[in-house]
A and B are shown apart, each in its own frame.
Chain A
Amino acid sequence: GAGVSQSPRYKVAKRGQDVALRCDPISGHVSLFWYQQALGQGPEFLTYFQNEAQLDKSGLPSDRFFAERPEGSVSTLKIQRTQQEDSAVYLCASSLERSNTGELFFGEGSRLTVL
Chain B
Amino acid sequence: AQTVTQSQPEMSVQEAETVTLSCTYDTSENNYYLFWYKQPPSRQMILVIRQEAYKQQNATENRFSVNFQKAAKSFSLKISDSQLGDTAMYFCAFMKQSGATNKLIFGTGTLLAVQP
Contacts and interface: CB of A to CB of B under 8 A. Distances in A.
Interface of A: 3, 31, 33, 40-45, 48, 55-56, 59, 89, 91, 93, 95, 98-104, 106-109
A100 to B, nearest CB: 6
B102 A100 contact: yes
B105 A45 contact: yes
Given A91-B45, A102-B35, A103-B47, A56 B109 contact: no
B50 A43 contact: no
A89 B43 contact: yes
Interface of B: 4, 33, 35, 42-47, 50, 52, 91, 93, 95, 100-109
B100 A56 contact: yes
A51 to B, nearest CB: 13
B102 to A, nearest CB: 6
B101 A102 contact: no
Given A43-B45, A45-B103, A102-B33, 5 more contacts: A42-B4, A43-B91, A55-B101, A103-B50, A104-B47
